[in-house]
Amino acid sequence: MKKLLLILITTVLGTSLFAQKIVPAITGNSVLNYTTSQNGQDIPLVLTITNFGDPIKMDWNMDGIGSGSYEMSAKSLQSGKSTPASTPAADELTRLASYQTFACISKDAFNSMIKNNTFEYDDLKFSVKADAAPFTVDNKQLDVIHAIATNGKGELWILNNAGFPLICKSKDSAHGMDLTLVSIQ
């Protein structure tokens, strides 16, 4: 009887451990592998965070398109309200405006999302959707928040990380290019 009880407790605890959602740390030297989708074409995108200070620097590489870098200021990460509308030029450093972020939403938008279940980005109003569908990367379920635009088309799945609210997935984005996170290294 004791063995049966021990096996039952171990199974229950093991199951709850596997069901936990994770929030991977995003730091300098993090490598984010995405698939971008635009006009029915999927292209791999690799973002490597080379500096996580001020500014945050991300090197990007897209198969068949080229590579370059983004610089995002601490002010952008704190209070940005949009993403860049155009594709950056290859082999160049693209400095984002203080109101722009890339691959994440701002901390202010994230805080509004947590506090009010709404936020604004790219001139769209988003509302948090209670979602049962898991978002997995590398066979691990991430702790993401799913938000849907209420005044237009668009959906975002955002990592539940106040320090760097990473966009894990976008659908019907305002600028026509969607992202899906494939792995984090």
DSSP code per residue over 92-145: SEEEPPTTB-SSB--HHHHHHHHHHSEEEETTEEEEEE---S-EEETTEEE-EE
Position 19 confidence tier, pLDDT thresholds 50, 70, 90: low
What gap in Å lies between CA 100 and CA 112, rounded to an integer? 17
* Residues paired with 120 in a beta bridge: 125
Taking alpha carbons only, the member of 161, 158, 183 closest to residue 171 is 158
Domain positions in the chain are 24-184
What's the mean pLDDT in 75-84? 96
Which pTM does this prediction carry?
0.86
In tens, the pLDDT along 89-117 reads 899 999 999 999 999 999 999 999 999 99
Q: How high does pLDDT run on average in the chain?
A: 88
